[in-house]
Amino acid sequence: MDPGVSSLDQVLLHGLQKVLGAPDRLIALHEPEFGGNESALLQECLNSTFVSSVGKYVDQFEAMLSEFTGARHAVAVVNGTAALHIALKLAGVQVNDEVLVPAVCFVATANAVVHCGAVPHFVDSHFDNLGVDSSALAEYLQAIAEPAPQGLRNRRTGRRIAALVPMHTFGHPVDMASLLEVSERYGLPVVEDAAESLGSTYQGQHTGTFGKLGVLSFNGNKIITTGGGGAILTNDAELARHAKHLTTTAKRPHRWEFFHDEVAWNYRLPNLNAALGCAQMERLQDLLARKRELASRYLAVFENGDGIRFIAEPAGCRSNYWLNSARLEKPDMKARDRLLTVANDAGYQCRPIWTLLHKLPMYIDCPRAALPVAERLEASLINLPSSAKLASLRQ
């Protein structure tokens, strides 16, 4: 090995090589798999000519999601961002409200807040589970917020804080019990961003089913994909009805009349994409088993890894291990970037976490809590190749 390469780099490379072997071409961060009924159902959907806004696969896909997650209702939509947009509206978020969002998050979550005319308000994460830290949040709200007639008021900005959006980072569940306690104390509706956590449970209950509403994504890089797609989960029949209505141009059912009773969106999932979703759902348990197998192999390799540690599922949780992550014991942006260079050069597609949301140009002036843990996570986390096919189970 190059004598200039530090021992951290060697720990990472040796670990990757042990788990994944030597790559003959780039081993992707995450790849979808279509080895089941995908082609058959897509062909059947084409033959039916119902490829667009109506068709049996949308209903079937929603039923499968509801059955799998235990949410009473699932409403399929065009992508996860659209699902968040409508879920936030249904949770009561209005123009000029603030919505609490982790700074460690994909940009779509903050964008969806802005699509409601509201302002993202960034909060810190927990070092172990990578999601919103409930005790830091409670302390922060104690300092900056006060009850007001219209809800919780941010003393500093005068705006209403209308909702809290915890996100289950890379599939690791947030500590929902303590978070719900805080949200209840402050009367904050919870919209769970479970875009990355289909198949992850917290104390036996599926993520995305704890809040007033929850959101899934089926983008191409997620654990299952519909090409592009998402869903809104809720146990509330009226919210589910309204979610369907708002995402399908708010058209009153009628044999021929076009009567729409509110401003709405064309956010429905096409039947063609839902057909793909049905075939992918049939494989979800198998995908989960192999992803967990891959994670256990990473865990074994990086358990005593000098300076690098694998991030295991939080206690009391089952993670889907959508993305496997390791972290530097000493957060160091330069070391992180060097490790990323070395790993990618060697053929292992590794990635950092997202640039913290408050550092993006459009969110620089948004209100935020102190974010010490988010900063540490940004400077220490590395995502490792995570496709289910990389597990030994099927080799």
Beta strand 160-164 pairing with 98-102? parallel
Tokens 């896909």 found at: 61
Shorter beta-carbon distance to ligand PLP: residue 30 or 318? 30
Range in contact with ligand PLP (rule: CB under 6 A) among 46-54, 66-74, 90-98, 192-200:
192-200
How far apart CA 219 and CA 228 sit, in angstroms, is 4
| x/- track of binding to ligand PLP for residues 202-221 (CB under 6 A) | ---------------x-x--
Backbone angles phi, psi at 152, to 5 degrees: -80, 130
User: Among candidates 109, 107, 117, 45, which has minimal Cα distance to 269?
Assistant: 45
Instruction: Check if the beta carbon of residue 88 is closer than 8 Å to that of residue 116.
Output: yes
Instruction: Check if the beta carbon of residue 354 is closer than 8 Å to that of residue 81.
Output: no
Beta strand 351-352 pairing with 381-384? antiparallel
Instruction: Return left, alpha or beta for 347; rule: phi > 0 is left, psi -120 to 50 is alpha, else beta.
Output: left
Q: In the annotation, is 244 catalytic?
A: no
Tell which one of 16, 41, 88, 106 touches ligand PLP (CB under 6 A): 106
Instruction: Check if the beta carbon of residue 104 is closer than 8 Å to that of residue 128.
Output: no
Show the DSSP H helices in 224-327 as ranges. Answer: 237-246, 271-282, 284-302
Measured in whole angstroms, the distance separating CA 235 from the mean position of its chain's CA atoms is 20
Tell which one of 69, 109, 201, 209 touches ligand PLP (CB under 6 A): 109
CA angle 166–198–137, rounded 5-degree value: 10
Instruction: Check if the beta carbon of residue 89 is closer than 8 Å to that of residue 341.
Output: no
Shortest distance, CB of residue 1 to ligand PLP, whole angstroms? 35
Shortest distance, CB of residue 104 to ligand PLP, whole angstroms? 10
Shorter beta-carbon distance to ligand PLP: residue 16 or 281? 281
Tell which one of 133, 193, 313, 378 touches ligand PLP (CB under 6 A): 193
Helix, strand, coil abundance in the chain, percent, nearest 5: 40, 20, 45
Residue nearest to ligand PLP (CB): 80
Range in contact with ligand PLP (rule: CB under 6 A) among 45-53, 105-113, 200-208, 301-309:
105-113
Shorter beta-carbon distance to ligand PLP: residue 152 or 384? 384
C-alpha distances in angstroms, 378 versus 94, 121, 325?
31, 18, 12
Backbone angles phi, psi at 151, to 5 degrees: 140, -155
Which residues in 318-357 contact ligand PLP (CB under 6 A)?
none
Shorter beta-carbon distance to ligand PLP: residue 215 or 382? 215
Shortest distance, CB of residue 361 to ligand PLP, whole angstroms? 20
How many residues form the binding site for ligand PLP (CB under 6 A)? Answer: 14
Find the catalytic residue in 212, 222, 244, 291: 222
Structure tokens at 300: 């074994």
CA angle 294–68–194, rounded 5-degree value: 70
188 lines the binding site for ligand PLP (CB under 6 A): no
Shortest distance, CB of residue 253 to ligand PLP, whole angstroms? 28
Shorter beta-carbon distance to ligand PLP: residue 218 or 302? 218
User: Among candidates 116, 222, 95, which has minimal Cα distance to 171?
Assistant: 222
Which residues in 72-91 contact ligand PLP (CB under 6 A)?
79-81
- The 8-class DSSP code of residue 198 comes to T
230 lines the binding site for ligand PLP (CB under 6 A): yes
Shorter beta-carbon distance to ligand PLP: residue 13 or 194? 194
| x/- track of binding to ligand PLP for residues 20-59 (CB under 6 A) | ----------------------------------------
Tell which one of 90, 99, 162, 195 touches ligand PLP (CB under 6 A): 195
Range in contact with ligand PLP (rule: CB under 6 A) among 24-32, 35-43, 188-196, 294-302:
188-196
| x/- track of binding to ligand PLP for residues 148-177 (CB under 6 A) | -------------------x----------
How far apart CA 20 and CA 347 sit, in angstroms, is 11
Shorter beta-carbon distance to ligand PLP: residue 219 or 380? 219
Interacting residues with ligand PLP (CB under 6 A): 79-81, 105-106, 108-109, 167, 193, 195-196, 217, 219, 230
The residues annotated with a catalytic role in the active site are 222
